[in-house]
Amino acid sequence: MLKNISFILGAALVAASPVWAQSSAPTQGALIPAPPVQPAQDEIRSLELSAGTQSLSNNLGNWGDVTLKGAYGAGKHLFQGELSGHRRFNKDGVYVGVSDTYTFNEDWYGSLAVGAGDGAFYLPKYRMDATVYRKFLPNRNLVGSVGVGYYKAPDVYSDRSLSLGVAYYFDQPWILEGGVRFNRSNPGSVDTQQQFVAVTYGRAKQNLVTARYGWGEEGYLAIAANTQLVNFKSREASIAWRHWLNSQTGVMVGANRYSNPSYRRTGFTVGIFHDF
């Protein structure tokens, strides 16, 4: 069962799931969830191309994003990469991120991710994330994770975080997830906490539906050059459907809604993925 779930990695790089305690994806993005990843037992060669749009309240305009993601697995390594172009707050930006997930043995695996933006204020100048995973129970269907992250914005602020996560793989078709992220933002030593829960239903190579709900506080959030929201509450709900057209190719549709005291953001994403 866990081996089958690992096939989904060829269709999706996860943003904001216990797989990457902090995703290497750019901040303020449309959160389109994917099921939690386990290291693949077979070699993976895959690409995913997606495009999304977001509508913001309070005359903050619309967003547009185009993203190309890829995965290459061989032996104990699973390499992943992302290249994305963005139009947000009337400013263009480009982000690139890479990661390596390494299987140490049957019970332990870990990931290291790095990413950088091109200077757009809503993208990281650079970020680094590292996560360690441990499988539990006789069937190894309970996976716990501990992750640390560092995020440096192009302007004055930075984030340091500690993330804890857990995922339980039932006999297909269910997966349950939960996690918490403790974050300290500077300047000001602003301490915040965010939580999420998620559920996945379906079978790899057929259909997978993942719903996610997150809530908590954020330290800093850039909305313009040298302008940030500071120490506020937010929440986001999202759902994604992945459908395989055949054993190698499939499509993805996702929708999300995010809110904070200053604005609401609603949007959707569509994409296509292929396993080689």
| Strand-pair category, 227-244 with 158-169 | unpaired
d(C-alpha 242, C-alpha 250), whole Å: 7
d(C-alpha 93, C-alpha 118), whole Å: 6
Confidence (pTM): 0.86
d(C-alpha 13, C-alpha 17), whole Å: 10
Per-residue pLDDT of the chain (276 residues; tens, 9 = 90+): 444 434 333 333 333 333 323 344 555 555 556 555 555 556 789 999 999 999 999 999 899 999 999 999 988 999 999 999 999 999 999 999 999 999 999 999 999 999 999 999 999 999 999 999 999 999 999 999 999 999 999 988 999 999 999 999 998 799 999 999 999 999 999 999 999 999 999 998 999 999 999 999 999 999 988 889 999 999 999 999 999 999 999 999 999 999 999 999 999 999 999 999
Element (H, E) at 97: strand 91-103
